[in-house]
Structure 1
Amino acid sequence: MSNNLSKQQLRHLLSNGSKGITMVEVLLAGVIMLIVMVGTARISIQSITSGRHRIERDRIEAAIHNNIQLIQQADSMLTLESMPKKDQRSACLNPAAYLKKQLSQKGGAIAVPAPALSGVSHNNLIERSISAGQHPGITVITYQFLAPEHSIKNERRTIELNPNFQTRCILE
């Protein structure tokens, strides 16, 4: 009997009280679901893009740091004793210019090529310049690159290096 009562009550509720879901409710639920899905998709895309930019930035930074270490190694190898006697005086007069010349000289004993790192467009991403600083004892090495992130334009890393051999120079 209790089973019959519950079936009768169920029939009564279905026939009188419940009209079902209206089209407006369906559209509203669809719009809310669309907003949530678009938000989730944007977060996912931003995360993937950020990760790709981080990988590219790490490659650029690693290439620059590797090049700096090679330059420091070359500077350590360039001693006053390792220079030809005829170059020692001019090297001591302007140590920064001499170091620049030795680092930039193609095929030289301590030449260090610029870091070669090509990107998606196969252009070298890093430009290196070596110059004698305003002071005769400082060599300035500058690395410029276009940042992988779109919100940042050009970036620059500058290293000032005192040539290792200049401490051994005795000028007249």
Structure 2
Amino acid sequence: MGQRKAIKTGFTLVEVLVAGSILLMVMVGVSRISVQSITSGRNRMERDRIEAAIHNNIQLLQQADAKLTLESMPSNERRDACRNPAQYLKEKLDTQSGIASVPKPVVSGVDGKNPITRTIEIGESPGITVVTYSFLAPEYSIDQERRVIELNPNFQNRCILE
């Protein structure tokens, strides 16, 4: 009887280690992409909430400006309003109540605090009220962001007739 030749089947230890290393690198790459996409999605949702609150507040400011007419003002305030329309609009927007009062936008951030600050100032151009919104961006690569809107008081064009 002849000798039988042994048939070797299977993988060597080196082949298994190389295949495992390649699989590990692929899995780490996939997990990094997954984590980055989840983080990006969360940041996008946070940014959308902040942007929506600011946009809503801007619309409320424009609506309040449209409602603030000379006819809606007390007659004793009309002269002061026409002398400095931007200042008058600023005061009315900042008041706690009234037809032109608009509260600051409120959004609870990840830390529970409101990330949006709003300031209303008199612009460098006469008759312009400048509203500035600033917030810390949810993305790590971006720092402080600002949105600026300039309002020309709606009642100002009627002041010439008064």
Name the TM-score, length of structure 2 as normaliser.
Answer: 0.93
Q: How far apart in 2 are the matches of 1:150 and 1:78?
A: 41
Contact 2:67 2:99 in 1 (8 A): no
Q: Cα gap change, 1:114/1:133 in structure 2, threshold over 3 Å: closer, same or farther?
A: same
> What is the match of residue 74 of structure 1?
64
| Aligned counterpart for 2:86 among listed residues 89, 96, 112 | 96
CA-to-aligned-CA distance 1:59-97 (integer Å, 9 cap, x gap): 001000000000000000000111111111111111111
Matched residue type, 1:25: E
Matched residue type, 1:82: S
Q: Secondary structure at the match of 2:145?
A: strand
1:31-70 residue pairs with structure 2 within 5 A? 31-70=21-60
Matched residue type, 1:150: Y
> What is the match of residue 124 of structure 1?
114
Contact 2:134 2:144 in 1 (8 A): yes
Q: How far apart in 1 are the matches of 2:130 and 2:107?
A: 21
Q: How far apart in 1 are the matches of 2:85 and 2:42?
A: 42
**Structure 1 position 163 matched with structure 2 position 145:** no
How many residue pairs match? The answer is 159
Q: Secondary structure at the match of 1:33?
A: helix
Structure 1 or 2: larger helix share? 1
The Cα shift of 1:109 comes to 2.6
Give the unaligned 5+ runs of structure 1.
Answer: 1-10
Contact 1:56 1:148 in 2 (8 A): yes
Contact 1:92 1:171 in 2 (8 A): no
Contact 1:127 1:143 in 2 (8 A): yes
> What is the match of residue 144 of structure 2?
154
CA-to-aligned-CA distance 1:22-67 (integer Å, 9 cap, x gap): 2111111111000000000001111111111111111001000000
For the pair shown, which has the larger CA radius of gyration, 1 or 2? 1
Matched residue type, 1:98: Y
Matched residue type, 1:153: D
Structure 1 stretches of 4+ moved >3 Å: none
Q: How far apart in 2 are the matches of 1:118 and 1:26?
A: 51
Cα RMSD of the aligned pairs, angstroms, is 1.5
